[in-house]
Amino acid sequence: MGSLPAYDTLPTPHDPPLTAIVIGAGLGGCAAAIALHHHGHRVLCVLDKVRVFGRLGDSLGLGQNAFDLLEKWGCDVEEIKRIGNQAPNMTIRRWHDGKPLATQPLMDMAGYIGHRGDYHDVFLSWVRNRGIDIRMGSEVVAFEDTYPQPSITLKSGDILHADIIVAADGIKSLARPLVLGSKDDPKSSGYACYRAFFKPTAAQRADDFLNKYMRDGDCVNFWIGPDLHLVQNTLRGGEEFNWIITHKDDGDVPESWFQEGDMNEVRRLVQTLDPEIRGIVTATEHCLDWKICYREPLCTWVSPISHRIVLLGDSCHAHLPTSAQGASQAVESAGVLAVCLNQIEDRSEVRVATKAYEKLRFPRTRASQTNGEDLRDRWHGALKGEGERQIDPESVKIRNRWLYAFDAEEDAVGRWGEVRRVVDEELKSGVVKPLC
């Protein structure tokens, strides 16, 4: 292997530096490893149970709030921007005829929409370029919430210790029941998504009935109707095509990224859809059926005894697709955790840092989550009993801009003193206020 590029890391007050293990090498886990490394902590390893990552998922958005942090940590965000959807605008349309209801810059929503697998590859390369060890096929099966160092046990039987263990292990997190002290079952959001991602065939591209949204490079469109909506976007200049239909769900689809969907059911759902997009949807051969599950907001993100096992990303703040902020909020959480660990002077105070981290992050992630719920509800309600009523374009626009001009690290440093006082008081009295 050639020599790795050098990355500047910030000074840490801890000598030797705090050690960290990150569980999960998804976008959240990669961001955590990069942020901890940037702030001078020692990342012992990033563990993932998967042996090899495939190009999993489909479209995912990253906002400016995430890019600004990644850039500060020395990541070349142009690598992401280059492979994202290049359309300047997106259009919100009426379900049955495609009439444009509102057009706004793509920046108002996702920032950059790209393939999750492609973005993930870039994140993984950033971690590896820093010399951080990513251990694939390493499944964590147990936790010991012990002081001063918690530990984890791998399926192989190996036991690993660190000053802090970051559980970025996704929506079905194994660490979450440990942190909560009980199992929290997924709660149906009442909706599910059919989603498909494919390269249209040459015949489909040549067919004027199917190709309306494959003609001029990248595009992003939404069709909204009563209690359902369809998102369409392209990638690689129109070479790849993605559609996602969010619809009412009263069935028992398992919570999975890999559940095969029923195209006959999709064809039934889109019978009333604008014919100019319906053609390519009904011509699709396969789709996935993804039940959108909620987790109730958690009362804590930190383990109860050592306070040194912390949740991050989807394990504690999963988002609806309409928020387009799941990965970006995980990046913010990574920055805040890394910063908090440098506000304490001694490693015996790690619990002060982790308790401050959850207090600093919780309100912001809730606001971002509910922003996605608000958009879904506005879209699904906009055309109910529409008749000849005019739709106010503002009422269906995406309202994500306020999330972008925010430096999560700067906010954490600015509010540190105030939050630390609360945490100190709670730890002294033993009366810890739950996050919700």
Ligand X SMILES: Cc1cc2nc3c(=O)[nH]c(=O)nc-3n(C[C@H](O)[C@H](O)[C@H](O)COP(=O)(O)OP(=O)(O)OC[C@H]3O[C@@H](n4cnc5c(N)ncnc54)[C@H](O)[C@@H]3O)c2cc1C
List contacts with ligand X (CB under 6 A). 23-29, 47-50, 56-60, 116, 139-140, 168-171, 174, 257, 313-314, 321, 326-327, 330
Q: Which is nearer to ligand X, 27 or 344 (CB)?
A: 27
Three-state DSSP class for residue 105: strand
Q: Which is nearer to ligand X, 48 or 289 (CB)?
A: 48
Question: Which residue, chain included where needed, has tokens 């990342």?
Answer: 43
Neighbours of 345 (CB within 10 A): 10
Burial, 406: exposed, middle or buried (Cβ in 10 Å; 0-12, 13-18, 19+)?
A: middle
Q: Which is nearer to ligand X, 31 or 396 (CB)?
A: 31
Q: Least distance from C-beta 322 to ligand X, angstroms?
A: 10
Q: Which is nearer to ligand X, 162 or 419 (CB)?
A: 162
d(CA 150, CA 165): 7
Q: Least distance from C-beta 201 to ligand X, angstroms?
A: 22
Q: Least distance from C-beta 31 to ligand X, angstroms?
A: 8
Q: Least distance from C-beta 152 to ligand X, angstroms?
A: 9
Q: Least distance from C-beta 116 to ligand X, angstroms?
A: 4
d(CA 341, CA 18): 8
d(CA 373, CA 332): 20
Burial 298-333 (b: 16+ CB within 10 A, else e): bebbbbeebbbbbbbbbbbbbbbbbbbbbbbbbbbb
Q: Which is nearer to ligand X, 84 or 321 (CB)?
A: 321
Q: Least distance from C-beta 169 to ligand X, angstroms?
A: 4
DSSP string, 30-75: HHHHHHHHHTT-EEEEEE-S-SS--S-S-EEEE-HHHHHHHHHTT-
> Before 16, cis peptide (omega within 30)?
yes
Q: Which is nearer to ligand X, 152 or 423 (CB)?
A: 152
Q: Which is nearer to ligand X, 238 or 321 (CB)?
A: 321
d(CA 170, CA 183): 15
Structure tokens given for 37: 């490394």
Q: Least distance from C-beta 113 to ligand X, angstroms?
A: 9
